[in-house]
Chain A
């Protein structure tokens, strides 16, 4: 039960699944069917032989809902293991974004200067536009996008968060 007065927490959850048809639909269907939030979701095959994929989900809810989400994920047949990177200690979280900015003169120079300060790379340029590639925490990417708003922001593509726990062990050990 989600009690509206209870505090909402954001968690990053890592799920190792069999890399088979429909597995993403199962995970997404679980979230939509039970009314859970998806703040971001990424998925790609991670095993050498492509047999398993890692899904990284950023979600938010009350403590009880977060606990439910993990238990419900564990119940899915193709799910091998579910980890809560927010609870299980420090983790590295990264997101990649491509940001297209168009402008001339002062704005163009300023965007390039800020990109430098954020360590964004220019991956495409025309005489009136840039595409910046930026990697980092989601908050950093959002801050950069905010700054670009006034400098001719055209469009943005973000990958969503990928994350791993710090230290020497992995989710499946």
Chain B
């Protein structure tokens, strides 16, 4: 292994190359100029210049989520690093592997309030899985390899490496350490076999089982999704998914009950409530899923598989916790099921499916069609019908459109659904779409957006145009922060405080101003043509799809309610939210 002297900046680039990085999303500034200079003098790593550091992080997330590989961002010190904080927090909440390199003022200036100094490791400590301040050029190689190891192993997450400028300039030794074996961080990937046997037994004895799968199954790689499908096939048990887990089981698999939770389906939430054995794989019982905790699935025995021990028994006490990677544990679970020749209780299962079919018959996602106004659900149904054959990558912003996208776009494979679940970050979708498009240049990538959210990172149209990324922004334009308005309908007497956006831009003109294309649909009969045209244009497109302004998203579990107390339509909106519910987010 070579151990010649290189500048810190050259070491950074060499280490990234050794780690298999092919693209970095970034924005330059004084404290990272040496690294930019080193980037300039090579051509193995591509740099994508974003227009705001938040977008660099979301793009890295989109890249990571759609490939399973870590995303990389590069930002300058001070404002560059603070702008990155939202993206880091987003990646932490959704367990996305991201490595963010931040410039820092020279070591001897740290603590002196130097120009563009911020305490980056201090600020990002609670919003990263781990972070580093590199204090010697000789440490750079080791730290960078470790950073990638931490970001991608165990429960994935964001890692910051803060790089003082003098460390980038000084010369030092680099050696590729190869596979990292960390002193203290060695996550458990294989589950305890005795516990897995117990789980299989509990599942075999179930009368009203349900499988509740989450983002951990996606994070565990495509094999985990295949194994989950096999388990569903073997058992014939119903399966539901969190927002983050969509695509692990095909949306149209008859065993799939749709998404669960606050805007989940009637059948999924009722089945979760009434089940007698729940198998949770890679999900975390968060408040959007459980509703009021003391009323959550009161009669069930719960099994929880998670790579992160701290997720087990955090919100909901479970009967059996198994620490391990979803793929490994599912594989062992299937082996045990087969070895023991377990069979589901066919009679009980039949009764259970009959009950589920009754819930399904409520057709909870139905809406009132309209032939003059575009219903947002209709627009998404058409978008799905016309684009599904191209197996697009779909990202979203945050709001009603996001929930409708989750309900109406049928995902049948993992890694194709990019959405900000834990943090709920408006402005996520366009940069995430850019990250996915970079990774999959020939695929269709669509950001399903709201007109309010898209304005939070609209500047990234410029990034898309510069790098010839033909991302499609499909805006369900209801002129309202619809999700905020919906809560105001529910809890604040329909007093729409600041949830209407006056003075919206002309999105078609805006797209053109950026050098992209703009399209508009105002009537239902225009929707198909606009979608087809959008797909045919080989550059960034914004579609201003003007939809019903006051439509609300159902089903809905109001905050503070039990998860089986769902509002199924406007006719259920009468009652105001409880006082306790009003205090919840």
Tell me if A116 is interfacial: C-beta within 8 Å of chain B: no
B residues 129-157 with Cβ under 8 Å of A? 129-130, 133, 150
Q: Number of B residues contacting the other chain (C-beta, 8 Å)?
A: 21
* B313 contacts A68, C-beta separation under 8 Å: yes
> Interface segment, A36-44, A74-82, A126-134?
A74-82
Nearest B residue to A81 by beta-carbon distance?
B184
- Beyond A25-B122, A25-B125, whether A79 also contacts B184 by CB under 8 A is yes
List chain A residues, Cβ under 8 A from B130: 77
List chain A residues, Cβ under 8 A from B126: 29, 33
* A22 contacts B310, C-beta separation under 8 Å: no
* A64 contacts B183, C-beta separation under 8 Å: no
List chain B residues, Cβ under 8 A from A72: 310
What are the interface flags for A14-47 relative to B under an 8 Å C-beta threshold, 1 for contact and 0 otherwise?
Answer: 0001100110011001000100000000000000
Nearest B residue to A22 by beta-carbon distance?
B121
Bound complex: CA A33 to CA B317 (Å): 22
Tell me if A154 is interfacial: C-beta within 8 Å of chain B: no
Nearest A residue to B133 by beta-carbon distance?
A21
* B125 contacts A67, C-beta separation under 8 Å: no
Nearest A residue to B185 by beta-carbon distance?
A77
Most chain A C-beta atoms within 10 Å of own C-beta, residue among B184, B309, B312: B184
* A77 contacts B310, C-beta separation under 8 Å: no
Bound complex: CA A79 to CA B130 (Å): 12
List chain B residues, Cβ under 8 A from A117: none
Cβ-neighbour of B293 out of A1, A18, A67, A79 (below 8 A)? A1
Cβ-neighbour of B314 out of A18, A25, A68, A79 (below 8 A)? A68
Tell me if B10 is interfacial: C-beta within 8 Å of chain A: no
What are the interface flags for B92-128 relative to A under an 8 Å C-beta threshold, 1 for contact and 0 otherwise?
Answer: 0000000000000000000000000000011001100
* A77 contacts B184, C-beta separation under 8 Å: yes
* A71 contacts B309, C-beta separation under 8 Å: yes
Most chain A C-beta atoms within 10 Å of own C-beta, residue among B133, B185, B308, B317: B185
Give the interface size class of chain A. Answer: 20 to 34
Bound complex: CA A29 to CA B131 (Å): 14
CB distance from A52 to the nearest CB of B (A): 9
* A78 contacts B184, C-beta separation under 8 Å: yes
What are the interface flags for B275-317 relative to A under an 8 Å C-beta threshold, 1 for contact and 0 otherwise?
Answer: 0000000000000000001000000000000001110111101
List chain B residues, Cβ under 8 A from A77: 129-130, 150, 182, 184-185
* A80 contacts B183, C-beta separation under 8 Å: yes
Cβ-neighbour of A68 out of B182, B184, B310 (below 8 A)? B310
CB distance from B313 to the nearest CB of A (A): 6
Bound complex: CA A64 to CA B313 (Å): 7
* A29 contacts B125, C-beta separation under 8 Å: yes
24 pairs across A/B with beta carbons < 8 Å? A1-B293, A1-B315, A17-B184, A18-B183, A18-B184, A21-B133, A22-B121, A22-B125, A25-B122, A29-B125, A67-B313, A68-B314, A71-B309, A71-B310, A71-B312, A71-B314, A72-B310, A75-B308, A75-B309, A77-B130, A77-B184, A78-B184, A79-B184, A80-B183
Chain A positions near chain B (C-beta within 8 angstroms): 1, 17-18, 21-22, 25-26, 29, 33, 64, 67-68, 71-72, 74-75, 77-80
Shortest Cβ-Cβ A-B pairs, 9 listed = A71-B310, A77-B130, A80-B184, A71-B309, A77-B185, A72-B310, A33-B126, A75-B310, A29-B126
Task: List 15 additional A-B contacts (Cβ < 8 Å) besides A77-B184, A78-B184, A80-B183.
Answer: A1-B315, A18-B183, A22-B121, A22-B133, A25-B122, A64-B313, A64-B317, A71-B309, A71-B310, A71-B312, A74-B309, A74-B310, A77-B129, A77-B182, A79-B184
